[in-house]
Structure 1
Amino acid sequence: MVGILIVTHGNFGTELLKSAELIIGKQENVETLGLNPSDDIKELYIAVRSSIKKLDKGDGVLILTDLFGGSPTNVTAASISDYKCESVSGVNLPMLIEALDSREFMPLEELTAKTIQSGVEGIKNVKNELGNKANSI
């Protein structure tokens, strides 16, 4: 099973995981790390590397971050070449659910692509999707 590491600003990752678990149930081999204003980037870097080692049970680790170019993503990028892991920025609930739900039967590279696809497909203009039905709900 691919491990999942969510690295975000503040508590976003923790709350996102709670929301996913509300929908698909409690998950194992998942960790969240948050960067707060007073935190040291070097400590986050150490925590990311430690979490990757802990979560990799042989199938690798998929790291999901919130903002491309942000400190959580930059810290993650500094570690991905040293381990069997992939990293995707722009985490949202559809992609997290896909990653958690598919990680037992998909290899890391395929899971990464499927996670990105689900994240993009989860973004909808509700008015365009529902049309006149939007007012009747």
Structure 2
Amino acid sequence: MYKIIIFTHGTFSKGLLETSSLILGEQPKIEFFSVELGCDLSNLKDQVSKSLESAKKDQEEVLVLTDLMYGTPFNIMVELQKNYKFHHITGVNLPMLLEAINCRDTGTLAEVAGDIVDVAQNGIVDVQRLLEEMEE
């Protein structure tokens, strides 16, 4: 089972975790971090580093999900990849997180990473177009 870190702007990461818990129940080894207006980014980076260090000591694989490519959480994680080994996927959404949770016991992180991205992308649907195609 790999550890999941959700790292976003504002309260998005907390909301994703709470919503996933509502759907799948409480899950172990999931942490969230948030960049808030005026927060101490150095302290936040240190907190994430401690989480990664803990996983390293426990020899756990880590999946990091960030919200926005080239945003602050993304950039911090890219910096941390110089010192820690983890799998980083950006563009997090709820289907991605649910798939990441559901796949934790089905294989290694390397094996399921592609599936996690596919589910996230396939979860984006233009419903109007879908309904129109169903009527044809």
Q: TM-score, normalised by structure 2?
A: 0.90
> 2:34 matched to which residue of 1?
34
> 1:3 matched to which residue of 2?
3
> 1:62 matched to which residue of 2?
63
> 2:113 matched to which residue of 1?
112
Q: CA RMSD in A?
A: 1.8
Q: Secondary structure at the match of 1:78?
A: helix
Deviates more, 1:41-50 or 1:22-31: 41-50
> 1:84 matched to which residue of 2?
85
Deviation of the 1:30 alpha carbon: 0.4
> 1:100 matched to which residue of 2?
101
Give the aligned length: 134
| Cα separation, 2, equivalents of 1:53 and 1:114 | 27
Consecutive unaligned residues of structure 2, counting only runs of 5 or more, are none
| Cα separation, 2, equivalents of 1:81 and 1:13 | 23
Deviates more, 1:111-120 or 1:71-80: 111-120
| Cα separation, 2, equivalents of 1:113 and 1:81 | 23
- The residue type equivalent to 1:106 in the other structure is G
| Cα separation, 1, equivalents of 2:129 and 2:90 | 26
- The residue type equivalent to 1:110 in the other structure is E
Aligned 8 A contact 1:21 1:27 in 2:
yes
Aligned 8 A contact 1:59 1:107 in 2:
no
Deviation digits for residues 27-80 of structure 1 (CA, Å, limit 9, x no counterpart):
100000001111122112111111122345434100000100100110011112
Consecutive unaligned residues of structure 1, counting only runs of 5 or more, are none
Identity in percent: 34
Q: Secondary structure at the match of 2:63?
A: strand
Please tell me whether residue 25 in structure 1 is matched to residue 22 in structure 2: no
Aligned 8 A contact 1:85 1:108 in 2:
no
Aligned 8 A contact 1:59 1:108 in 2:
no
> 2:73 matched to which residue of 1?
72
Aligned 8 A contact 1:64 1:91 in 2:
yes
Deviation of the 1:113 alpha carbon: 1.6
- The residue type equivalent to 1:62 in the other structure is L
Q: Secondary structure at the match of 1:63?
A: strand
